[in-house]
Amino acid sequence: MKQFRIAIIGQGRSGRDIHGLHLRKDTERFRVVAVVDLLEKRRERAAQEYGCDVYEDYTALFGRNDIDLVVNSTPSHLHYAISKDLLEHGFNVLCEKPCVPTVAEFDDLCETAKRKNRHFLVFQQSRFADYFLQVKNVIASGKLGRIVHIGIQFNGFARRWDWQCCLDRNGGNLANTGPHPLDQALNLLDAYGQELGIFCRMDRCNTFGNAEDYVKLILTAPDRPLVDLDISSCDAYPSYTYKVEGTRGTLKGDMKKLEWKYFKEEEAPKQTLIRTPLYVDEEQHPAYCSEQLKWYEESWEGDPQAPFIAAVQTYYDQVYELLCNGREHDIKLYQVRQQLDVIRKCHEMNPQIN
C-alpha cells in the first residue's frame, strides 16, 4: 500500500487532537514527516509523538520535495496567506475550517491551485458524521414524505474569551462552529449554484470578544424545504440537533439518537374536502376535524464518540483515494464557496457585529 507523507502546520486542538490523532493511527497510508509550531514544547512533543522533523516556521518546508500534503491548521486568520504561499511553492494543501474570510480570497486560492496543478482541500469532515448520514438516509427513503422544514441546532451555553471570539481572527459562532452545521444544511438544501433566500440575526451575549455568539439563520430556495439553523451559546436547554418535518412524518434527535415516525399514505383514511359545518350525529353537534392514523416509529442510536472519529476517518479515506487514484473528494470547492458566500451575507445583514 502506498504511503503518503504529511506535514502539519500547527499543534493546537485541530492540528494535534484531530489531524494528528488520526494520522498517528493511520500509519499504513500516511506518515507525518514534519510538524511546524511556534511553541517549543509543542515541537518537542511532536518530535516524540510522530518521530518527525519539527520547525518553528512553515517556510522551512519549502526546501523539501518529500511532502505529499500539508495540513494547514494554523489560527483561522492565517489560513489564506499560508495556504497561498504553500500552493505557490508547489504543495498540495488541506486547509482547516473556516477556510478564509472572503469569497475573493477563496477564489484566489482555487485559481492558484489550478494554475500550479495542486490539490486544494477544505476540512469539512462533519458531512460524513454518522448521525448526519442517517438523517439523509431517512429523508431519501421518502418515509417522511415531502420535506417541508429542517431545523438544525448546534446549541449550548458557554462563555468564551479566546482568540476565536475575535473578528480580526475570523472568529465567532458562524465562522468557528458554523461551518459544520452550515455545510450540512447546504448539502441537504442541495441548491448549489442557486441564489438563496437568506435571513440572519446575530448577537453578542456571553463572549468577551467582539464576534457573535448567537446566530439565527434561515435559508430558502425554490422547491426546497426551509432550513432553520441555530448556533447559539445562550441555550442552557438544548433540545435537539435535528428536527425534520415532512408531509407524512417527523424526525427528531441528536448526535447520539434519532427517532422518526410516519404514516403510510395508502393506509390513511380517504378524505375529501368538506366546506359545510362538521357534526357528529343527527342532532348536528359540532365536531372537530380528526382521524386515526397508523403511525410507524423507528430509531437509530450511535456511539457518542463515533460521529467525530468516523467523520475524520471517512474524510481521510477520500484524501487517500484522491492522492493515490485521483478520485475527486466529496467536499467540492464550489460547495465551500457557497458556504463562504452565505457567511459573508450574514455579516452584511448584521453590521452591528462588524
Dig out the grid coordinates for 77 from the structure: 486568520
In a domain, 324, yes or no: no
**CA atoms in the 13 A half-sphere facing the CB of 196:** 27
Residue 283 predicted with pLDDT over 80: no
| Residues 43 and 183 grouped into a single domain | no
At residue 166, the pLDDT reads 83
Of 94-108, 121-135, 171-185, 269-283, the one with minimum mean pLDDT is 269-283
Which domain, by its residues, includes 247? 127-263+296-311+334-348
In a domain, 275, yes or no: no
Residue 130 predicted with pLDDT over 90: yes
pLDDT tens per residue, range 135-151? 999 999 999 999 999 99
In a domain, 285, yes or no: no
Residue 63 predicted with pLDDT over 90: no
| Residues 241 and 154 grouped into a single domain | yes
| Average confidence (pLDDT) over 36-50 | 95
| Residues 50 and 195 grouped into a single domain | no
| Average confidence (pLDDT) over 178-185 | 95
Residue 108 predicted with pLDDT over 90: yes
pLDDT tens per residue, range 287-337? 888 889 999 999 999 876 666 788 999 999 999 999 999 999 999 999 999
| Residues 119 and 131 grouped into a single domain | no
| Residues 161 and 253 grouped into a single domain | yes
At residue 168, the pLDDT reads 82
User: How many H helices and E strands in the chain?
Assistant: 9, 14
- What total of structural domains would you count in the chain? 2
In a domain, 322, yes or no: no
Choose among 227, 241, 245, 243: nearest CA to 339. Answer: 227
In a domain, 268, yes or no: no
Place 19 in a pLDDT band, splitting at 50, 70 and 90.
very high
Choose among 289, 324, 309, 341: nearest CA to 92. Answer: 324
Percentage of the chain exceeding pLDDT 90: 83
| CATH code for position 13 | 3.40.50.720
| Residues 136 and 36 grouped into a single domain | no
Residue 71 predicted with pLDDT over 80: yes
